[in-house]
Amino acid sequence: MEEVDPPSRSSSEAETRFRLAFENNVSGMVIVDTEDRILHVNSAFCKILWSNTEELLGKQISSFTYAEDRQVTEEAHLRMLSGDLDQTTYQKRYVRKDGAIIWVEVSNGLVRGDNNEPLYLVASIKDITTEHNLHEQLDYQAHHDPLTGLANRALIEELLTSLAETTSVKDNKRVAVLIVDLDDFKDVNDTFGHRTGDSVIEAIAERLKSVKRPQDTLGRLEGDEFVYIATDICSVDEAEKLADEVLSAFQDPFNVEEESFRQSASIGVVVSNCDEGVSIDLIKSADTAMYEAKRLGKARWSLFTPQLAEEALDRNRIHHELWQAYSTGRLQMYYQPIVSLATRDIVGFEALMRWHSDKRGWVPPDLFIQVAERDKLILLLGSFALEESLKELSEWVQKNTHRPAPYVSVNLSARQFHSKELAHSIQSALDNSGINPQNLVLEITETAALSDLESTSRTLASLSDLGCTVALDDFGTGYSSLSYLAKLHPNVIKIDRSFVSSLSTGSENEILLDCLGSLGHRLKMTVLAEGIETESELDILLELGYDLGQGYLFSPAVPSTEAARILESPPWK
């Protein structure tokens, strides 16, 4: 290899200075000719590449430049040689002698001759591998969930923001966002501890990764909430198929620490709209749809519609107004007589809550009870129903000393039923009213009873210790699991009114009512039919041996004073 002339043609003093600055520089220094060939290197540069001077002289820079970065280097050199720039700085990768990838920052300057012709490129090279890797690691941590390695909220939001800029309505591709929220995951954490909960989350993330299409993105937004983003959706149908696919990932149990966890999820689906395009608001819309899926019974998906958003907003308003109505004493209890079908005597009253809003008129309890379930308002409404109906029952009992005292049947919401305070609040309502526990029936729905069987069994035991009676409400509309009916063994089953409506002899409903009635009787339960509206329905139910009934045939739910009057002399007798 021929020794190379120093780049400076000036005085020998300047030449020495340059040589010293070059050789002793702590940065790697390299001089290349216009053909990219190395003319001179210093020892710091050799150190970066784990090579010696002999190995490097005459070599082209591109020969140890990382393949993907060759173009950047070439372009920078060309721009300088063409006179576009005299100086450039950029980052690139070298492949070291042992194959390791080294990140470097290159500052290039061009030296020209007397006629302004390009002579050499002098480059200073800094090894920035450590800083670069640290930066990458920090960047990764800032954008990924440490437990599952999935994209976190920040990265998902960045993705949607960049999609908003790049997805054109014209190319006919739409973006689908699916929020996947685990159902009642709190129970897993509460029962098995957070460490096991984390392992279940990891197993779920792995399952979701296995159904994810390569082009899609999966993220974890928070504890029990995942997000799935598909960017090449052509139709709503396609997004719905995707939702089915994601839902199917929850079909089989998750095996963790020798336990088998059945875990379902509710999914909200939104597809970007051709007019509005992609935006970060898609997450909010998918969330609204996810709450709808929860509301409709969980373990399913719902598709976002603008109407859904409107309804969700309205439920928020109702929630606020309901708090106000409760705080200002605007809620009332009404009472519907429960009648012995054989004698037509009143045996009790079901207490049903009523809310008359100045703005909305009568708001159906099905709606406002569900809205109250969102927070502790439901517990306050539940206590109010208990206290108020027992207080009013004690007033009727005092006025009607001559007859056997009727009972009052109070509905318990799911949250109230599983609340630790339940036994205590029942006891205090009984104490305050002086009502005998035998005159209190507590109605629970199957969905509430079956959502957490262990807690249900404990609660039922504590209610029976208090001496109260339990009725299973709306039987036949939920899971109607017969083995659980035997296990929970309520005192009364209330057969849902959907079986009674349009009941006629020989109809399918008659057969079902027959079966349900016999089942209850064989399990030694009292059987009650809800929603009796006509004499002919009553006749059939009598024929089928039903014990009790309630319905508009006798009376709708009425205010307390009216209930007391009906108790005195039932108009149907």
Q: Within positions 394 to 453, which residues make up the interface with Mg ion, using CB under 5 A?
A: 411, 443
Token pair 């035991």: residue = 461
Q: Give the contact letters, 497-516, x = binds to ligand C2E (CB under 6 A), - = no.
A: x-------------------
Q: Which is nearer to ligand C2E, 490 or 531 (CB)?
A: 531
Checking DSSP bridges between strand 28-33 and strand 38-41, what pairing results, if any? antiparallel
Tell which one of 473, 510, 537, 547 touches ligand C2E (CB under 6 A). 473
- Min dist CB 500 to Mg ion, Å, is 11
Piece of the chain touching ligand C2E by CB under 6 A; list 39-47, 60-68, 245-253, 407-415 = 407-415
Checking DSSP bridges between strand 526-529 and strand 548-549, what pairing results, if any? parallel
Token pair belonging to 361: 């008129």
CA distance readout (Å), 397 to 29, 270, 436, 471, 548: 102, 56, 11, 22, 21
Q: Within positions 474 to 513, which residues make up the interface with Mg ion, using CB under 5 A?
A: 474
Token pair belonging to 545: 């041996």
Residue 369 binding result from Mg ion, ligand C2E, none, given CB thresholds of 5 to 8 Å by partner type: ligand C2E
Q: How far apart are CA 270 and CA 302, in angstroms?
A: 9
Tell which one of 557, 563, 564, 566 touches ligand C2E (CB under 6 A). 557
Residue 366 binding result from ligand C2E, Mg ion, none, given CB thresholds of 5 to 8 Å by partner type: ligand C2E
Tell which one of 157, 345, 533, 562 touches ligand C2E (CB under 6 A). 533
Tell which one of 160, 440, 551, 563 touches ligand C2E (CB under 6 A). 551
Nearest residue to 395 via CA among 454, 340, 435: 435
Number of residues that bind ligand C2E (CB under 6 A): 23
DSSP secondary structure letters along 422-437? HHHHHHHHHHHHT--G
The sheet that has 301-303: what strands, in order across it?
217-222, 225-233, 174-182, 265-271, 301-303
317: three-class secondary structure by DSSP = helix
Tell which one of 146, 364, 404, 434 touches ligand C2E (CB under 6 A). 364
Tell which one of 56, 61, 363, 369 touches ligand C2E (CB under 6 A). 369
Q: Which is nearer to Mg ion, 127 or 496 (CB)?
A: 496
- By beta carbon distance, the residue nearest ligand C2E is 551
Is 473 a binder of Mg ion (CB under 5 A)?
A: yes
Q: Within positions 22 to 61, which residues make up the interface with Mg ion, using CB under 5 A?
A: none
Q: Which is nearer to ligand C2E, 184 or 533 (CB)?
A: 533
257: three-class secondary structure by DSSP = coil
The sheet that has 38-41: what strands, in order across it?
38-41, 28-33, 118-127, 101-112, 87-95
Is 452 a binder of ligand C2E (CB under 6 A)?
A: no
Dihedrals φ, ψ of 267, to 5°? -120, 135
Residue 557 binding result from ligand C2E, Mg ion, none, given CB thresholds of 5 to 8 Å by partner type: ligand C2E
Q: How far apart are CA 309 and CA 292, in angstroms?
A: 10
Residue 551 binding result from ligand C2E, Mg ion, none, given CB thresholds of 5 to 8 Å by partner type: ligand C2E
Is 433 a binder of ligand C2E (CB under 6 A)?
A: no
Residues 6+ apart with CB under 8 A from 116: none
Q: How far apart are CA 70 and CA 92, in angstroms?
A: 9
Amino acid letter, residue 58: G
DSSP secondary structure letters along 482-506? HHHHHHH--SEEEE-HHHHTT--TT
Q: How far apart are CA 491 and CA 472, in angstroms?
A: 8
Piece of the chain touching ligand C2E by CB under 6 A; list 46-54, 94-102, 213-221, 410-418 = 410-418
Q: Which is nearer to ligand C2E, 246 or 372 (CB)?
A: 372
Q: Which is nearer to ligand C2E, 279 or 425 (CB)?
A: 425
Is 385 a binder of ligand C2E (CB under 6 A)?
A: yes
- Min dist CB 156 to ligand C2E, Å, is 37
Q: Within positions 524 to 543, which residues make up the interface with Mg ion, using CB under 5 A?
A: 530
Q: Does residue 124 contact residue 27 with C-beta atoms inside 8 Å?
A: yes
Checking DSSP bridges between strand 301-303 and strand 174-182, what pairing results, if any? unpaired
Tell which one of 125, 229, 249, 353 touches ligand C2E (CB under 6 A). 353
Tell which one of 474, 510, 537, 547 touches ligand C2E (CB under 6 A). 474
- Min dist CB 343 to Mg ion, Å, is 22
Identify the DSSP state of 62: G
Q: How far apart are CA 541 and CA 545, in angstroms?
A: 6
Q: Which is nearer to ligand C2E, 261 or 368 (CB)?
A: 368
Binding site residues, Mg ion, CB under 5 A: 411, 443, 473-474, 530
Binding site residues, ligand C2E, CB under 6 A: 336, 352-353, 364-366, 369, 385, 411-413, 443, 473-474, 497, 530-533, 550-552, 557
